């Protein structure tokens, strides 16, 4: 039996809600982040699932895309990040993911004086979806932690 829990969000207060809870029975295939160098923060993110469904948060019309593609059976085990609490509403400026197969490269810039966060799962759980707030930027990010079977195959 699959159990799903919500953790977070971490980050600022601005933006409108986005929610990937409808996709927690699907498998994340790819994460794309849009880096806005003028704002020194993420403008958006797109989550692509193995079924072909997508969830986009923020404004993908600005920023440079950078992606993580997961292979079948690869699961996200942790996300670490940083957000700018000095900005008007706060926004995510750094993200790093660890999967069951590797530690992926970091995205964005770590800056002294910003607020760090980390969401680490236990061996029985993995990150299956995201939620938070976005608008002109990716303001906050939270995760859905789940156990049990997924639609991925090893």
Q: What is the CATH number for 20?
A: 2.100.10.30
Q: Is residue 17 part of a domain?
A: yes
Query: What's the predicted TM-score (pTM) here?
Result: 0.85
**For position 37, what pLDDT does the model report?**
85
If we measure between CA atoms, which residue out of 131, 86, 108 comes closest to residue 42? 108
Q: Which domain holds residue 142?
A: 4-146
**For position 109, what pLDDT does the model report?**
75
Q: Is residue 142 part of a domain?
A: yes
Assess whether pLDDT exceeds 50 at residue 152: no
Q: Is residue 110 part of a domain?
A: yes
Q: Is residue 153 part of a domain?
A: no
The mean per-residue pLDDT over the stretch 99-124 comes to 81
Q: How many domains does the chain have?
A: 1
Q: Is residue 152 part of a domain?
A: no
Q: Is residue 151 part of a domain?
A: no
What average pLDDT is seen over the chain? 85
Q: Is residue 91 part of a domain?
A: yes
Angstrom distance (rounded) from CA 119 to CA 88: 24
Q: 12-34 burial, b for 16+ CB within 10 Å, e for fewer?
A: bebbeebebeebbbbbbbebbbb
């Amino acid at each position: 039996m699959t159990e799903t829990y919500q953790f977070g969000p971490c980050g600022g207060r601005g933006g409108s809600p986005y929610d990937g809870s409808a996709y927690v029975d699907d498998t994340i295939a790819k994460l794309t982040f849009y880096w806005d160098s003028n704002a020194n923060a993420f403008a958006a993110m797109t989550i692509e699932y193995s079924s072909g469904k997508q969830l986009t948060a923020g404004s993908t019309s600005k920023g440079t895309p950078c992606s993580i593609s997961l292979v079948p059976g690869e699961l996200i085990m942790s996300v670490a990040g940083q957000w700018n609490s000095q900005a008007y509403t706060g926004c995510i400026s750094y993200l790093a993911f660890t999967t069951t197969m590797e530690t992926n490269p970091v995205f964005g810039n770590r800056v002294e004086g910003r607020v760090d966060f980390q969401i680490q799962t236990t061996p029985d759980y993995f990150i299956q979806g995201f939620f938070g707030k976005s608008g002109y930027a990716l303001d906050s990010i939270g995760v859905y932690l789940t156990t049990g079977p997924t639609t991925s195959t090893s």
